[in-house]
Every structure is written in structure tokens, then in C-alpha cells.
Amino acid sequence: MKIISATIENIDQLVPLFDKYRIFYKQSSDPEAARKFLTERLNKKESVIFIAVDTHKNVLGFTQLYPVFSSVSLQRAYILNDLYVTDKSRGKGIGEALMNHAKKFAIEKNSKGLTLETHKNNPAQKLYERLGWKKDTHVLHYTWEI
């Protein structure tokens, strides 16, 4: 298994995983909308997507990072917005490898770090904590939606 940066050439492999990721978060399956969304992000360079591939170039999982900026620290940071590993690939270290790759990328870009948000019942929290991620208890997050 190796981790590579996804490009538009990987879109056909990435869409089914992205669709399953969205279904996990109680969204309706919509592969065409997923394709459009991912294509726009890649073409506009609005996100960085890393994919884990096996020796046959099958995609086993992915993570997507979005750049943000901190006015306080005067640095770029990244939001690790998406992390998904296929059912048959879970428990094999794919998620850990993707997260460690994201950390390495953030360091190479001289960023402040990575932030992620997850559902309070997501079992991946154990992985995050094992990898040294800290649960933020000092700030509150608010959301305004249309």
C-alpha cells in the first residue's frame, strides 16, 4: 500500500468511496453530485486529497484536507474534513497511514497544524487520540446554516 496525491485521473476510483463516506454521515447516495463536487475541488485546487492504493492501484481509502488561515497565528492550517477507509480495508492501518501522511504534509507546508471535526459517536476517535490528536475543550464551535 502507498499513499499518493489524488488528481483528476483518480476521480472514477474516488467517487464511490466519497459517496459511501457521505452515506455514513446520513446523506443520500448521489455519485454524480459527488463527482461534480470532487472535480471542482481538484480543478480549482481548493483541497488536497490523499488516497491509499494497493499494488493493483485499487483505492483503499482517502482523506481530504482544506486550507484555512489563522489571523491570530498568521499561519495556514488545514482542516482534515474527510477520512474514509473501505469496509474490507478497515483494521489494516490504512486510516492511520492516511492521517500520518496528512501530518507530514502539514509539516512540509509549514502550517500551524491540522484540525478535524467528527461526530461524537464516531469510533475513529480512538484512532485520533492514539495518534496524538487532542480533543479541544477550550473553544466552542458554532454553526450557522441556511
Q: pLDDT tens, 88-131?
A: 999 999 999 999 999 999 999 999 999 998 888 888 888 898 99
Q: What is the pLDDT of residue 43?
A: 97
Q: What is the pLDDT of residue 113?
A: 94
Q: What is the pLDDT of residue 136?
A: 86
d(CA 38, CA 139): 30
- Specify the pTM: 0.91
Pure H helices in the chain: 11-24, 31-43, 94-108, 125-130
Q: The dihedral of CA 55, 49, 144, 127: what is its sign?
A: positive
Q: Which amino acid is at 3?
A: I
d(CA 48, CA 112): 16
Q: Are 97 and 1 in contact (CB under 8 A)?
A: yes
Bridge-based pairing state of the strands 75-85 and 114-116: parallel
Backbone angles phi, psi at 67, to 5 degrees: -75, 140
Q: What is the pLDDT of residue 59?
A: 94
2-130 fold: Aminopeptidase (3.40.630)
Beta strands in the chain (DSSP E): 2-5, 48-53, 59-70, 75-85, 114-116
**What residue spans define the domains of the chain?**
2-130
At residue 142 the predicted structure's pLDDT band, cuts being 50, 70 and 90, is confident
Q: pLDDT tens, 21-78?
A: 999 989 999 999 999 999 999 999 999 999 999 999 899 999 999 999 999 999 999 9
